[in-house]
Amino acid sequence: MNTNSKKILLGNSLSIPEEDEVNTGEYFFKKYNTVNSDLDKDVLNDMSALFSYYFSEILNYIGNDKFKLNYLMVKNEIKKECSIKIQRRLCFAILEKINEIYNFEFPENLDLLNQDNIDDFLKFIEFLEYDNEKFILSIWTFLDTTLSLDTIKSYCANNKENIITEVEENVQTNNFSPYIKIFLLNYEKEYFIKWFIKCSIKCKSMILLNIYNSK
């Protein structure tokens, strides 16, 4: 657990210093809450330090290797204890963080109005951060390469068009959730290749094994 998470869990989240707010769930509450009714006011009054901790464990680790562990610790609690309204606000906070870390924005507004929509969005963030090994391996299966541990980055840099072509074909032949599909077809090429390299390095042993077995 990081320092900011400990502050939230052990203390009053509303007293966190301003300079730390952007790294905690407190930033999420202030930026994404709109008080439109007595119900909204009640929601604000009832938000606990524990909820702030849940949200910070997601927002603080986007783009970090520890994301999966921290996300899975709080995902079910958030779905069980938070209303659709609060989950929706969290999703928009995640979108902003994704733009900051990955330079990706969805080309259109997302309809996160019910639990099914939110669940689809969570599948996307899971795919973006860690649940992409099957996809990555499937792309490498169709790339013509004699890859070694030292050449993943250079191969990707020199074969961007081939990779993009395989991704587009993969999207057409597989049943991805809607937000994952939008991501794969709309992510700017240069940034996508960086993401693809990062994911490939994480599962490089499996990639090399598949290439070896295919020879």
Q: Are residues 124 and 148 in the same domain?
A: no
Q: What pLDDT score does 209 carry?
A: 79
User: What's the number of domains the chain is made of?
Assistant: 2
> What is the predicted pLDDT for the residue at 111?
84
Q: Are residues 124 and 45 in the same domain?
A: yes
- The verdict on 125 and 77 lying in the same domain is yes
What is each CA distance from 150 to 156, 204, 210, in whole angstroms? 12, 10, 16
Token pair of 207 as six digits: 């990639």
Boundary-marking domain end, from 106, 129, 152: 129
Q: Are residues 105 and 188 in the same domain?
A: no
Given 111, 129, 147, the domain boundary residue is 129
Question: Do 184 and 81 belong to one domain?
Answer: no
Report the alpha-carbon distance of residue 116 to residue 98 in Å, rounded: 21
Rounded to whole angstroms, the Cα distance separating 132 from 51 reads: 28
Two structure tokens written together for 43 = 């929601």
pLDDT at residue number 143: 84
Are 140 and 106 within one domain? no
Domain C-terminal end among 129, 160, 175: 129
Beta-carbon neighbour count of residue 23 at 10 Å?
16
Q: What are phi and psi of 11, to 5 degrees?
A: -130, -170
Q: Does residue 123 share a domain with residue 183?
A: no
Quick one: 31 and 81 in the same domain?
yes
Domain of residue 14, residue span: 3-129
Q: Are 23 and 33 in contact (CB under 8 A)?
A: no
Q: Do residues 124 and 140 both lie within one domain?
A: no
Same domain, 105 and 154: no
Residues 89-119 as b or e (16 or more Cβ within 10 Å = b): bbbebbbbbbeeebebeeeeebebeeeebbe
Pairwise CA distance, residues 59 & 53, whole Å: 10
Q: Is residue 158 located within the same domain as residue 188?
A: yes
Residue written as token pair 């309204």 = 85
Q: Tens place of pLDDT for every residue, the chain, 215 residues?
A: 554 444 333 333 323 333 344 444 444 555 544 445 554 555 555 556 777 888 899 999 999 999 999 999 999 999 988 889 889 989 999 999 999 999 999 998 888 999 999 999 999 999 999 999 999 999 998 886 666 656 888 889 889 999 999 999 999 999 999 999 999 999 999 999 999 999 999 998 888 777 667 65
Question: Which residues make Cβ contacts (< 8 Å) with residue 103, sequence separation at least 6?
Answer: 188, 191
Is 20 in the same domain as 87?
yes
